[in-house]
Structure 1
């Protein structure tokens, strides 16, 4: 069985050249009988390839029929990428808060080094993420505030799961963005 794009000579192509996009030498036919919205819903990958090719052609100065560009969904997907970056950062911040709380509230001694390692590793990941997305820095304090209640619930659940009583009231624990993202660790209790 042959894999890859169909082998057509130039004269045999079953679709016009203007409905081809090129990506890594593979050709994706673009249907002329369905709307861009229908393709977006039916085959997101094909839609993304099509729209990317059209945008690249337009950026290169080629004449592109603007009605072939699915502007509404392109805008939605770009905004979605931004939300995804926010969500990734927020999740990492939640992980740091959870482990800071475990260090303060848990009487267990064995997992402490692992929690500290997780905090260290996640802080480094946050720093890398912020270097690539500096516009997210203005959201850090809000993310710390928003992630704290979920971290509390997770810590209380984990302590209960292991039959441990917290050493202090987990609901009283709060952290600043500087504590969460800096080099601060809670003092040994």
Structure 2
């Protein structure tokens, strides 16, 4: 007769994420630091930072994409393109307002985001990537300036 061996224990974090969040928040409120799953708390906090930076990049790429389309397809300028510019500029402003430490990251991200925007602009417009400037033609200040259209 063989006895069944138990499998590896599954943590609350793996089994019930919401339950883990609620238990962790309750332990923090009680200041019961011994009950905290610190490894996963640290991982979640680091993930939160990555998500904030990724959201900033995503909104910057879309804003740059529409600025490029506005500038290089002036015959196809539309209210929806302008609305997208306004929306993604507001999202960037909201992100930087909520987390001011993102502002310097925005400037360092500009080159990579611009490259992504050029690739998408070429795909959406049918123009070649060579039709767009190699370096971003807009400053961070212009990009964030309400009403700026190239």
Q: Does residue 95 in structure 1 map to residue 73 in structure 2?
A: no
Q: Does residue 169 in structure 1 map to residue 131 in structure 2?
A: yes
Equivalent residue, structure 2, for 1:78 = 45
Task: Give 2:141's match in structure 1, choosing from 178, 183, 188.
Answer: 178
| 1:23-80 Cα deviation digits (max 9, x unpaired) | xxxxxxxxxxx96x7221122111111111101111xxxxx361x2111110111111
Equivalent residue, structure 2, for 1:156 = 122
Equivalent residue, structure 2, for 1:42 = 15
- Of Structure 1 and Structure 2, the greater helix share is in 2
Alignment check: 8 A CA contact 1:101 1:173 kept: no
| 1:81-137 Cα deviation digits (max 9, x unpaired) | 12111111111111110001101222542x433212211222122212211111111
Unaligned runs of 5+ in 1: 1-33, 59-63
TM-score, normalised relative to structure 2: 0.82
Alpha-carbon distance between aligned partners in 2 of 1:97 and 1:173, rounded to the nearest angstrom: 12
Task: Give 1:117's match in structure 2, choosing from 71, 78, 83.
Answer: 83
Q: Does residue 52 in structure 1 map to residue 28 in structure 2?
A: no
Alpha-carbon distance between aligned partners in 1 of 2:80 and 2:41, rounded to the nearest angstrom: 42
The alignment covers a number of residue pairs equal to 140
Equivalent residue, structure 2, for 1:26 = none
Equivalent residue, structure 2, for 1:5 = none
Alpha-carbon distance between aligned partners in 2 of 1:185 and 1:140, rounded to the nearest angstrom: 19
- Alignment root-mean-square deviation, CA: 2.2
Higher relative contact order (CA 8 A, sep 6+): 2
Alpha-carbon distance between aligned partners in 2 of 1:47 and 1:55, rounded to the nearest angstrom: 12
Equivalent residue, structure 1, for 2:98 = 132
- In the TM superposition, 1:56-71 aligns within 5 A as 56-58=29-31, 64=32, 66=34, 68-71=35-38
- Of Structure 1 and Structure 2, the greater strand share is in 1
After superposition, the Cα gap between the structure-2 partners of 1:150 and 1:65, relative to the gap in structure 1 and judged at 3 Å, is: closer
After superposition, the Cα gap between the structure-2 partners of 1:154 and 1:65, relative to the gap in structure 1 and judged at 3 Å, is: closer
TM-score, normalised relative to structure 1: 0.66
Alpha-carbon distance between aligned partners in 2 of 1:158 and 1:38, rounded to the nearest angstrom: 46
Pair member with larger Rg: 1
